[in-house]
Structure 1
């Protein structure tokens, strides 16, 4: 059988020269993990762009692992998108994600990787999961139909890590982050998530001198946000401290209403006009909070407040995002 839930794991942090493959290093999550590892003094990060290494091609992944022989793997590569993208390209969302994770997890095991962490998403949980959502809620009910293709792939990734642990006693773990934000987020006008979308709209309204910004819904739904640098910190913590069968939720443990979020983003951006709520538009799920008590019991907690995180993210936006 696999390792006991809190079995001492081989130490990750002391070996700064170990080869660490960060799959998906250009994305929101992967780039934060790279920053964190570089700050900690890791000197041998294996980074490949999609052009360098297509993770959906099994033979290419196999060749990469046999020649590079990483010691640790952080699997942050995925095809991601909002509701519209998930509804439009369901085949891509299930096939591409299954291919990426199957190729990377299997090659990692077969080429002697010491430890792997697989990163999923809070959308793995049933649509009507209890709130806050504990790890044990997985597979207890139907998924949210708008992103079930992506969710099913991510659930398969968790189960694959568990299967390799059970059959081969191999140290593969999984972490499920809540809603993330921060540098390298997607600020696209049409297909970004709520926080970067609000930031862009308030910024553009400020630049153009608009008197008001219209936001969908009533503003009443509650959401949880975690700065991506906090997630990177949690990933390193889990690589160092955790070796168990269960996936681990990674959240901030605090909720904010969309209305409060909008007011906070408005303030950080410096938009002087008013926020108008269009309550003819849907609100979505009333509440979505992860139960991160398992991770907190291991000794980790987030460091970055929502306000500080938003200030840093807006500064990054101003430097990097073209109008």
Structure 2
């Protein structure tokens, strides 16, 4: 109060286990400063020992809330969640990195979704709403509707995405990301910067109309950005894929999303392959008993569902993440 500070944070020495001397030090600090809040920071990677440490800290110092840290590691934090039940203190914040932007409010339902590897779409949406300008988004939507999406717009969208934070972190929020840990680890955040360098090496006319990019122009762009002609070619391909996907959305359709298979389509339409019948299976028996047996066989072959979605739906794989990565980096 004397220094005109609104908030004062006192950080004590960390410990992974029970340390009587440090516990006494923390208790003395609490008595001396009489804080409004005492937060107990749990390492999400220490497993079941988190409960024992929390009990000891509650008995020796007591605390008003919990902060869950290191959720960006391999551990999902399941054991640490039991601390809230054992101590009766709520988990207030969760940390997924070292930066200030990596500290976020804790939501139990979203954490349960992460533990089950169902992703955290709500947090991803909130980050997008905070990063994207509403007026700019409206202008982009109008360009998509008129099919005038250019590399300049593509560059603007990439810069908006960068405001959302780490691309690796965002991809980790997608359902099934737990099956793609190795691919996520290999994801290079600098690919977006390289893509920006290539686009910025183009003239305004080339950005507005990539079809004019002949061999000599691509060579000039590659030299100007410090990249290769192959990199320039891949960027043009990624842009065409992204533009095609966005045009589909603008027209009210649903694009093919990596990991989710073909979606949408015109009512009543079906693939030619699906219309073909196997030999010997072109007709159904007129005998009621045989027909019932045929129906039972069809049901038995059908994929079953579960409480988490439709059966038979393929889980996202490393190949799916590679498709997403193509939009922002090298293939």
Which TM bucket (shorter chain)?
A: under 0.3
TM-score by length of 2: 0.24
Structure with the higher helix share, 1 or 2? 2
Which of 1 and 2 has greater Rg? 2
Asked which structure has the greater RCO (Cα within 8 Å, sep 6+), the reply is: 1
Structure with the higher strand share, 1 or 2? 1
